[in-house]
Each structure stands twice: as C-alpha cells, then as structure tokens.
Homo-oligomer: A and B are copies of this chain.
Amino acid sequence: MTTESRIWTAALIVVGDEILSGRTHDKNIAQVASWLGVQGIRLREVRVVPDVMEAIIEAVNTLRARNDYLFTTGGIGPTHDDITVDAVAEALGVEVVVHPTARAILEDYYETRGGLNEARLRMARVPDGAELIENKVSGAPGIRAENVYLMAGVPGITAMMLDGLTGQLEGGLPLLSATIGCWVAESEIADLLRETEKAFDGCQIGSYPFFREGKTGANFVIRSVDDETLKACAHALERGLAAMGRFPVAGGI
C-alpha cells in the first residue's frame, strides 16, 4: 500500500440535548464533513448523543478506536451542562487539569469583559496532556487530546477552530466528486446507474432524488479519488442519459 492509497478516516460526535429535542438544527455535521473532505479525510460515522457522561464516553471509546481522528462538537462551554471535557478525559483514562496557556488566554480575553470567574475558568480545563486549538472568536480554545478534537457547539466558533487546524492533520487523497442532474425519475435509470458504477473501478455513484416545481428529478453524485476516472465515469453517465433521450445537467440541478 503506498502512502497515496491509505484512506484516513474520522468520526464526529455531536453532543447536545438541543439537537435531540429538535429545537436546534445541527450545522456542524455538514461543516465538519466538508472541511474533512478538503483535508483528505473521510467522515465515516456521526453520532448525536445527549449531555450524559456515559453516552459520550461510550461513543468516544468506540469511535476513536476505529478511526484516525475523532471530532466532537458541543459541551465545552462554561455552564453546568458542559461535560464533554470530563467525558473525554474519563474515556482516555486521564485527569482533568487546568491548561496554563488556556487560563492565560481566558484571563487576557476577559480582562475587559468582567474578569475570569469560576465558570469561565471551566473553559481552561482539558484532559491531562492535551494541546489547545486556537479560537479567534471568543477566546476559549478548542482542545486536542490524543486523536480526539474537541470543538465548540456554536457553528461559527467551530468554523474558526477548524480554520486553525487546516493543513495540520495528516490525510490522504481527497475524495473528488462530480454531480450530474437530470429531470428523470431515478427508478427509470437505475440500471444505467448500477452499470456505469460497475464499469469504473473505484467510483461510487449516489442517487439523490427530489421533487421540485411538481417535477421529479435527481442528482447523481460520482465520487473517486482519481480525477481522470471521475471524469470518464461522469461522461459515460451523461452519454447514457442522452442515449435515453434525457438531458444531463453537468454540476447538478
């Protein structure tokens, strides 16, 4: 196996009662997924778990063992329901300690904002041995503990933490994709999709139907790590659709 063919994987744990209640629509899954794709890392599984120690610990243990990286979002703020740091520390079998640099960052940030109180100091707590991930928005840093990356729940803050990590994680070839849209019922061209996928080694074709303006359509997303194979597969699908009297729309509908 060459370096290029190694596939790097990640999992994501979204910690949050507010997502499980339906009150808040999660934005971190798509954000983390897209960012990982650019780093050449595949997001393999996501779990949304409640703000409950045992639930977080179980997910951390399972997912970090079978992926190169594990990300978490949520539960690293200053309030009583923020327990992700404690759960990750317990999963890793280490103590929770106050990180001196995190403390200094918070002291500086809150100097003109009412000072560092006990609640705010909670945001300097990390699993022993952890490193910080810079956050330019609100002071409180993200945390790397072994292969676990703890991010904020607020999507804008997570975006800044991901920005701080860009290019820092070892990854493989990014999974490329090409999208072809068509005003066709996917059930009419299921054979074409299956046969086209089979004909191009290492390509996957996903079929994503929709109903708009009273019409049936679908986007077909072709994925491959190899740009030439991807293009060849996309062209074959376009030709196949055209041969059936359908009009493929490059880039999707």
Instruction: Using CB atoms and an 8 Å cutoff, list the residues of chain A in contact with chain B.
Output: 14, 17-27, 29-37, 42-51, 55, 77-81, 113-114, 117-120, 122-123, 137-138, 153-154, 156, 175, 177, 185-188, 190-191, 193-194, 197, 204-211, 221, 223
Contacts and interface: CB of A to CB of B under 8 A. Distances in A.
Contacts of A32: 22
A185 B223 CA distance: 44
Given A45-B50, A120-B187, A81 B30 contact: no
Contact of A24 (B120, B122, B208): B208
B45 A21 contact: no
Q: For the complex formed by this chain, how many copies does it contain in all?
A: 2
Contact of A77 (B49, B118, B186): B186
A13 to B, nearest CB: 10
A211 B77 CA distance: 14
Nearest to A187: B78
Contact of A186 (B21, B79, B210): B79
Given A80-B193, A120-B187, A154 B50 contact: no
Contact of A22 (B20, B33, B204): B33
A193 to B, nearest CB: 5
Given A81-B205, A114-B188, A185-B113, A210 B154 contact: yes
A190 B22 contact: no
Contacts of A30: 19, 22, 24-26
A200 B194 CA distance: 58
